[in-house]
Amino acid sequence: MNKVEAIKFNDDIVKMYEALKIKSERDYLFFKLAIHSGLKVSELLTITVSQVNRLIEKCTLSEMCKAHFHSLIKIKLPETLSKELLQYIEDRSLSNEDVLFQSLRTNQVLSRQQAYRIIHQASIEAGIENVGLTTLRKTFAYHAYQKGIPIPVIQKYLGHQSAIETLNFIGLENECEHSIYISLQL
């Protein structure tokens, strides 16, 4: 079994957007919210409309993520994503208590297996290898790091025990460009 990886290139993210949006607005928004929030799949699958509204308005997910140590870390969603989410909620007449990502067949919580099938199929259509559900969180962490967010902050947000664990998760453990050289001239 192959190890899943972050989607590191913006062009590949756009390919995923396109592959998902053709199929379903729900699937597209599931992916987009996942890579912009860094939420665990289990949290994404059960996120309610009121929690999404709180995230959009206050940039906070604290009541969802009590197990993590990131109560001071705020997530600001892109304005376009916020608008898309609000439009999706309005178009489907979802109430605050409704789960955002519902099964089209049962109107219940989307299953983890179905979420995997959706993401995996889109990755095949986009021509991207080594994609699974963990890819979503890895993509968030990788791009946060690339934007200059320090590893200790990402580590706390993800709930990792060490910086090494976070570097391994992101896929940077063996990249020389990320080495730190200390050269003292005392």
Length of the chain: 186
pLDDT higher than threshold 90 for residue 138: yes
Top pLDDT among 65 and 147 is at: 147
pTM here is 0.88
Position 106 scores a pLDDT of: 87
Q: What angle do CA 44, 50, 56 make, to 5 degrees?
A: 80
Q: Residue range 140-151: average pLDDT?
A: 94
Top pLDDT among 27 and 57 is at: 27
Position 66 scores a pLDDT of: 45
Residue 139, C-beta contacts closer than 8 angstroms, at least 6 positions apart: 6, 7, 8, 13, 34, 35
Residue linked to tokens 């009541």: 63
Which domains, from first to last, does the chain contain? 10-178 (1.10.443.10)
pLDDT higher than threshold 60 for residue 68: no
Mean pLDDT of the chain: 88
Helix (H) or strand (E) holding 125: helix 112-126
Q: Which two tokens stand for residue 183?
A: 């050269």
Position 69 scores a pLDDT of: 47
Q: pLDDT category, 1, cuts 50, 70, 90? A: low
Position 184 scores a pLDDT of: 77
pLDDT higher than threshold 70 for residue 139: yes
Q: Residue range 144-167: average pLDDT?
A: 93
